[in-house]
Amino acid sequence: MKQKKTRIRGRLLKAFAAVLFFSSLLTATIFNLAIRLFAVQGEVNLRAYQNMYGETSGVIGRIGIISVVLISVMFLVAIVVTYFLANSLTRPIEKLGEFALNIGKGDFSPNDFQFREVELEDLNTALNKSVKQLGEYDSEQKAFFQNASHELRTPLMSIKCYAEGISFGIMEPKAASETILQETDNLADLVTDLLYISKIDNITIAYQLAETDLKELIRDCATRQEAVAAKRQIHLSFDFDERPIRYVCVSELLSRAIDNLISNAIRYAKSDITLSCHQKTDHIEICVTDDGAGIDPGLLPHIFERFTKGAGGNHGIGLSIVKTIVEQRGGAIAAENRVEGGAAFIISLPESGGGK
């Protein structure tokens, strides 16, 4: 059965109002009795007053005793009410405190507490949401370190094997050293990506936002990779709006995202890559398309997950970096296979994030 929710402040006010009401009633009763007594005394003469002095004193004494008894009873009632009210408030707080301590010990199991007080129920809901997020983050971090360890171990083992081959004279030194150099480069790239992931995941880092022309930013990214594209005989083309597309962002991060998409497209394209940027009604759309074989349909739903690699992939980190950067700006990224062949990666950035 669902309990009715109340507010702590309301309960305290009700208790205080009840005590105040009964105290006022008691005071009014005593005051009324005193008024009547003095009224009676005013109507009698001095002799009658003197004759009645003993009886009046007895009445006043009894009234005093009654007043003391009533005040004592009200005091005891106030103590009892305060005691039960304090228990009703402190017990759920103690439960939430114990729950918070368990979170600190690494127990991310949600609780099923139910409270009548709205404030405590809201606090419990917030704690359960935090526990869920912390549990997901903890699982992601464990999986991340396991995958990172595996990715680091692979080039290290290869380097060790070829180095031992040279040492024991069973491998031709020049060919083995070229493989070692290649694996060393792969290892350096992997470490760089891992450090970059740590950097963009760290919410305490302050980045400088600035208005940027996205067309120029994309052209600069393409220029940096023209030599690699030319080596593979891949042509980079552009499809932009005529006017500048101004957007407020961290140019360093967005450039890294575009660089990763272009690098990924170069790895799979046959001969052509198209970079487009258009101002839509309520968002800005950036698209990187290639004319390669496309994305394996089974891999498509997981393409932005860390350490997910397609055929010929490198470390499986680049696209996950793109996703993190885009989502930090409130945007979204999607991947799809084109009908005419090849893959397309579409970034949607919110209009509110950029300048007019």
Q: Is the pLDDT of residue 337 over 90?
A: yes
In this predicted model, what pLDDT tens digit does every residue of 78-110 receive, in sequence order? 666 666 776 677 788 888 888 888 888 888 888
Q: Which of 86-100, 130-144, 279-293 has the highest mean pLDDT?
A: 279-293
Using a pLDDT cut of 70, give the percent of the chain over it: 68
- What DSSP state is assigned to residue 302? G
Contacts of 306 (CB under 8 A, 6+ apart): 144, 147, 197, 316, 317, 320
**Residue in this structure with the two tokens 């009234």, named with its chain if needed:** 63
What per-residue confidence (pLDDT) applies to 35? 55
Mean pLDDT within 184-197: 75
What per-residue confidence (pLDDT) applies to 99? 85
Query: Taking the CA of residue 239 as centre, how many other CA atoms within 13 Å lie in the half-sphere pointing to its CB?
Result: 11
Q: Is the pLDDT of residue 158 over 50?
A: yes
- Extract the tokens encoding 1: 């059965």
In this predicted model, what pLDDT tens digit does every residue of 209-268 receive, in sequence order? 889 999 999 999 999 989 889 989 999 999 998 898 999 888 888 998 999 899 889 989
The answer to whether the CB of 105 falls within 8 A of the CB of 133 is no
Mean pLDDT within 172-191: 80
What per-residue confidence (pLDDT) applies to 185? 77
What per-residue confidence (pLDDT) applies to 163? 86
Q: Long-range contacts: 81-86, Cβ < 8 Å, 24+?
A: 81/15, 81/18, 81/19, 82/15, 85/11, 85/12, 85/15
Beta strands in the chain, from DSSP E residues, in sequence order: 210-213, 235-240, 246-249, 272-279, 283-290, 332-337, 343-350
Sign of the C-alpha dihedral computed for residues 73, 78, 79 and 85 taken in this order: positive
Alpha helices by DSSP H, listed for 8-45, are: 8-43
What per-residue confidence (pLDDT) applies to 44? 46
What's the CA gap between 106 and 98, in Å, rounded? 13
The answer to whether the CB of 332 falls within 8 A of the CB of 286 is no
Lowest mean pLDDT among 116-120, 145-149, 168-172, 279-283: 145-149
What per-residue confidence (pLDDT) applies to 41? 52
Lowest mean pLDDT among 24-33, 165-174, 183-192, 299-308: 24-33
Residues in the chain, total:
356
Closest CA to 276 of 284, 267, 288: 288
What per-residue confidence (pLDDT) applies to 95? 85
Beta strands in 63-125, from DSSP E residues, in sequence order: none
Closest CA to 262 of 306, 322, 304, 215: 322
The answer to whether the CB of 318 falls within 8 A of the CB of 249 is no
Q: Which of 73-87, 162-176, 201-215 has the highest mean pLDDT?
A: 162-176
Q: Is the pLDDT of residue 17 over 70?
A: no
Query: Taking the CA of residue 257 as centre, how many other CA atoms within 13 Å lie in the half-sphere pointing to its CB?
Result: 31
What per-residue confidence (pLDDT) applies to 270? 92
Which has the higher per-residue pLDDT, 148 or 128? 128
What per-residue confidence (pLDDT) applies to 218? 94
What's the CA gap between 316 and 308, in Å, rounded? 5
Q: Is the pLDDT of residue 61 over 60?
A: no
What per-residue confidence (pLDDT) applies to 332? 94
Quick count: other Cβ atoms within 10 Å of Cβ 310? Answer: 20
Our CA angle for 154, 155, 161, nearest 5°, is: 95
Tell me the average pLDDT of the chain: 78
Q: Which of 135-144, 170-179, 195-204 has the highest mean pLDDT?
A: 170-179
What's the CA gap between 175 and 173, in Å, rounded? 6
Q: Is the pLDDT of residue 45 over 50?
A: no
Give the pLDDT band of residue 284 (cuts 50, 70, 90).
very high
Which has the higher per-residue pLDDT, 46 or 41? 41
Q: Is the pLDDT of residue 37 over 50?
A: yes
Using a pLDDT cut of 90, give the percent of the chain over it: 19
- Extract the tokens encoding 65: 């005793």
Mean pLDDT within 322-343: 90
Query: What dihedral do alpha carbons 116, 119, 121, 124 form, nearest 10°?
Result: -140
Give the pLDDT band of residue 7 (cuts 50, 70, 90).
low
- Could you give phi then psi for residue 247, rounded to 5 degrees? -150, 135
Query: What dihedral do alpha carbons 272, 317, 177, 229 form, nearest 10°?
Result: 10
What's the CA gap between 149 and 180, in Å, rounded? 19
Lowest mean pLDDT among 142-156, 317-331, 333-347: 142-156
- Could you give phi then psi for residue 6, rounded to 5 degrees? -130, 165
The answer to whether the CB of 324 falls within 8 A of the CB of 197 is yes
